[in-house]
Amino acid sequence: MRDLKELMRPAAAVLEPYDPAFAAVEVNLSSNENSFGVPPAVCDAMAHALAQTAANRYPDPLAPALRAELAAWHGIDPERIIVGNGGDEIIFNLFLAFGADGAKVVNCPPTFSIYRLYAELLGCAVADVPRDPKTFAIDEEALLAEAADARITVITTPNNPTGTLAPLALIERLCAATEGLVLVDEAYLEFADSPSSLALLGTLPNLVVLRTLSKAFAFAGGRIGYALAAPEIIDTFAAVRQPYSVNVFSQAAAAVAVRERAAYEGILRSIIEGRSWLAGELAKIEGVRVWPSSANFLLVRLPDAHSIWERLRDEHSILVRDFSQTPGLGDCLRITVGTPRENERVAVAIAELLGKDLP
């Protein structure tokens, strides 16, 4: 047999397995999950739905019950929705259907690393339009120019890992300025005081909006994401996707979560309040810079971030995400907003590690 790497698709041969840097800790604030979990009443309703779900039959590929719940929530025709195995699958399938063979994909780093990873794996050429190094705002004119001949342009709002919003007016201008598609990734929109670009779907034929149940709905383990777009674009997703990628249990439980969405309102409020509280506490510590965030996490810069990250894990059993090696994010950590107790633990630990007690 030839060398495995030589047998592989060259774009795959250079990759290492994705490592989310999981560690067994008491406080996990590393992956922007929802620490509160699914509300108990919703859990009971999910358990009931799961008990009635037959595992011997293949799932309906288009997840009709879940799609109907999502359509009712967003006030959008179900034909404009496709469900995937997490938002990640939606991103992958978008590049699979529209990318490939040197097609240009534009994104605005620092941002979610999966865009570049999947785009390159599928043979696209990624063009970066870097954000302002201090505010992380998008360079709008540079983006409009770069996107003109792009196949896919990605805008993340709120952006991961910076928490920055993109103005709706920019999305409108972008959709008009590009010959390709615009993916607006709204994975964290439920935490933002900002309107969704979904309202623009009827007027912008090249807009694709991505949402997920992983964050606000505390359903990261269930792996449900979805795209909203013109029916013709949704049809292309349906054509390229693995038909059974979203299993019956996840479909059934997610439909319950969306139907019972009012039960999550208190949790969302707590996370938003926790974000203000944590940002305020961290900003009091000398040497710590906190960026404003519209998501369920905070980006912070502090002295010797990598060693603080290690010591949080090893001495305080707290895991956050280390971005200190990412271009533009030197000495930065990303901290998910957790429960009040978790927020307090991470604030106290950082203050202690930087040699100061919180006032």
Number of H-type helices and E-type strands within the chain: 13, 13
- Mark 223-262 with x for binding to ligand PMP (rule: CB under 6 A) and - for no binding: --x-------------------------------------
Partners of residue 82 on adjacent β-strands: 227
Residue type at position 344: E
The yes or no reply on residue 163 touching ligand PMP (CB under 6 A) is no
Q: Which is nearer to ligand PMP, 182 or 353 (CB)?
A: 182
Q: What's the CA angle centered on 83, arms 51 and 160, to 5 degrees?
A: 110
Q: CA-to-CA distance for 271 and 244, rounded, in angstroms? A: 34
Residues 106 and 152: beta-carbon distance below 8 Å = yes
Q: Which is nearer to ligand PMP, 316 or 334 (CB)?
A: 334
DSSP 59: P
DSSP string spanning 200-255? Answer: GTTT-TTEEEEEESSSTTS-GGG-EEEEE--HHHHHHHHHHS-TT-S-HHHHHHHH
Instruction: Choose which of 220, 238, 272, 354 interacts with ligand PMP (CB under 6 A).
Output: 220
Q: Which is nearer to ligand PMP, 120 or 185 (CB)?
A: 185
Assigned token pair, 17: 């397995």
The yes or no reply on residue 281 touching ligand PMP (CB under 6 A) is no
Instruction: Choose which of 39, 87, 163, 274 interacts with ligand PMP (CB under 6 A).
Output: 87
- Mark 99-118 with x for binding to ligand PMP (rule: CB under 6 A) and - for no binding: -------------x------
Least Å from the CB of residue 191 to ligand PMP: 12
Q: What's the CA angle centered on 143, arms 141 and 145, to 5 degrees?
A: 70
The yes or no reply on residue 156 touching ligand PMP (CB under 6 A) is yes
Q: Which is nearer to ligand PMP, 78 or 222 (CB)?
A: 222
Least Å from the CB of residue 325 to ligand PMP: 18
Instruction: Choose which of 69, 88, 260, 322 interacts with ligand PMP (CB under 6 A).
Output: 88
The yes or no reply on residue 187 touching ligand PMP (CB under 6 A) is yes
Window 67-86: residues binding ligand PMP (CB under 6 A)? 86
Residues 154 and 107: beta-carbon distance below 8 Å = yes
Q: What are phi and psi of 253, to 5 degrees?
A: -70, -40
Q: Which residues bind ligand PMP (CB under 6 A)?
A: 32, 86-88, 112, 156, 160, 185, 187, 212, 214, 220, 225
